[in-house]
Amino acid sequence: MGLIAREIEAAGVPTVSMTSAWDITEAVAPPRSVYVHAPLGHQTGAPGDAEGQRAIVRAALEAGLAIQRPGQICPLPWRWPGDAGWELRAYTPEHTPTAPDGKPNRGSSPARGPRAFAPEEI
Amino acid sequence: MVRPSNTVPYIERTRRLYARQAPYRWVEHDPAREPTPWTPVERPLAATRVALIASGGVHRDDQEPFHFRNDTSHRELPPDTPAARLRVSHFGYDVRDAARDPGCVFPLRALRELIAEGVLGGFAGPALSFMGGIYSARRVREELAPRLRDLVLRQEADLAYLVPA
């Protein structure tokens, strides 16, 4: 997604990008990023929480437009309301990511846990 | 830019998980050699017409679902598309929450509400949606990014708001 943000910004349209993957965003460096601390698949909030989603999007647009330095990432104070400790499990073998060839990774059990994300910015 | 202490080390975990595959090639931009593009913001949010671009694989129920991988196609969704008509096809993240409530990764409703409140100026055009499981940076660079750029320019958007999944 960062590549697309850079392409659009270079064409003369300002961009604001959401992210929940700080390290990837730092590497790709889109012009303006707003960080939400949540599992992937929830960059604009938790399911069923319309009010929270609106608050995140509003805060993200306001914070994003206030960014002054290219490549800056602004963290939002919002807290993920789901399970604690998800950071330790995210994208680990127990959580069944899909390999780039589309097959489940060795040692993973498709019946258990969510499928982890496949990063986009590659 | 203070990095929170508990961010997930996705790059490190990806390398470990995919150790058996061909090495992952992350796109990295060295700001010294490839300066980050920058266009100044000229309008207040209340006068800004936004183009939503989202990579969570969301499409309307009468649109073709996204393919399994390396699908660089996109779908255009009118801003008034009701949530009940949204579907998700994406192999690369846990889509259960997004399928239940697309607002997790596709904030059409939130943007509509902010426009109704006068916080945001409006939509520049249809939302642009694709499936982010594209393992070829070259195809993103050569096919998808220029196409989305041209659509945003055609919408004469004041701002592009990009939401990955």
* B29-63 tens-digit pLDDT: 988 899 999 999 999 999 999 999 999 999 999 99
Q: Check whether B96 has a pLDDT greater than 60.
A: yes
Q: pLDDT tens across A61-116, in order? A: 999 999 999 999 999 999 899 888 899 988 887 765 454 444 544 433 333 333 33
Hey, what are B136's tokens? 């070829």
Nearest CB partner across the interface for B45, out of A12, A62, A122: A62
CB contacts, 8 Å: A51 with chain B: none
Nearest CB partner across the interface for B160, out of A13, A46, A101: A13
- Is the minimum CB–CB distance between B77 and chain A shorter than 8 Å? no
User: What local confidence, expressed as pLDDT, does residue A42 receive?
Assistant: 96
Least confident of A18-22, A69-73, A99-103, B5-9: A99-103
User: What local confidence, expressed as pLDDT, does residue A95 receive?
Assistant: 65
Q: Which run of H or E residues covers position A72?
A: strand A72-75
Q: Scanning every residue of chain A, which has its alpha carbon at the shortest distance from the alpha carbon of B137?
A: A122
Hey, what are B5's tokens? 């202490």
User: What local confidence, expressed as pLDDT, does residue A50 receive?
Assistant: 97
Separation in Å, CA of B126 to nearest CA in chain A:
16
Report ipTM for this prediction.
0.95
Better-predicted residue by pLDDT, B105 or B135: B105
* Per-residue confidence band for B23, with pLDDT thresholds at 50, 70 and 90: low
Better-predicted residue by pLDDT, A82 or A12: A12
Q: What is the DSSP letter of B152?
A: H
Q: Scanning every residue of chain A, which has its alpha carbon at the shortest distance from the alpha carbon of B4?
A: A75
Distance set, CA B39 to CA A16, A67, A74, B131, B161 (Å):
11, 12, 18, 26, 14
Chain-wide mean pLDDT for chain A?
82
| CA gap A53, A51 in Å, rounded | 5
Show the DSSP H helices in B117-154 as ranges: 137-139, 145-154
- Is the minimum CB–CB distance between B102 and chain A shorter than 8 Å? no
